[in-house]
Amino acid sequence: AQSVTQLGSHVSVSEGALVLLRCNYSSSVPPYLFWYVQYPNQGLQLLLKYTTGATLVKGINGFEAEFKKSETSFHLTKPSAHMSDAAEYFCAVSEGSGYSTLTFGKGTMLLVSP
């Protein structure tokens, strides 16, 4: 069985500060990992994904994440927060190719203050 833990239901940063959203996963097979963003009253938008290969993955809007197998982590970072980054962020895991069910964490709400 696979699972995702997102540490912190809310994270507050100032505009221009570093954003760090934490995600730890559990998977019995090499995982595929994803970060999605959800703005109020909208669906999920894919930020970035890790499948195989390079462990540092770059996504849209200046976000990146690093897959660390030894720590079973896939933390999301952005060097400088912007007001438009305020949203809810979900980490998700999928166990390999083919049967592409996603298991999501409970989400982290990112609050950005001026």
Partner 1 sequence: ETGVTQSPTHLIKTRGQQVTLRCSSQSGHNTVSWYQQALGQGPQFIFQYYREEENGRGNFPPRFSGLQFPNYSSELNVNALELDDSALYLCASSPGQDNTQYFGPGTRLTVL
Residues that bind partner 1 (CB under 8 A): 4, 32, 34, 36, 41-46, 49, 51, 90, 92, 94, 96-107
Cβ-based nearer residue to partner 1, 17 or 44: 44
Strands 44-50 and 24-26: unpaired
Cβ proximity to partner 1, 23 vs 81, nearer residue: 23
Gap between the Cα atoms of 42 and 49, Å rounded: 20
Q: Please, what is the minimum distance in Å from the beta carbon of residue 96 to partner 1?
A: 8
Rounded to a whole number of angstroms, the minimum distance from the CB of residue 63 to partner 1 is 16
Q: How far is the CB of 28 from partner 1 (least distance, A)?
A: 16
Instruction: Catalogue the E-assigned strands of 1-107.
Output: 3-5, 10-14, 19-21, 24-26, 32-38, 44-50, 56-58, 64-68, 73-78, 87-94, 103-104
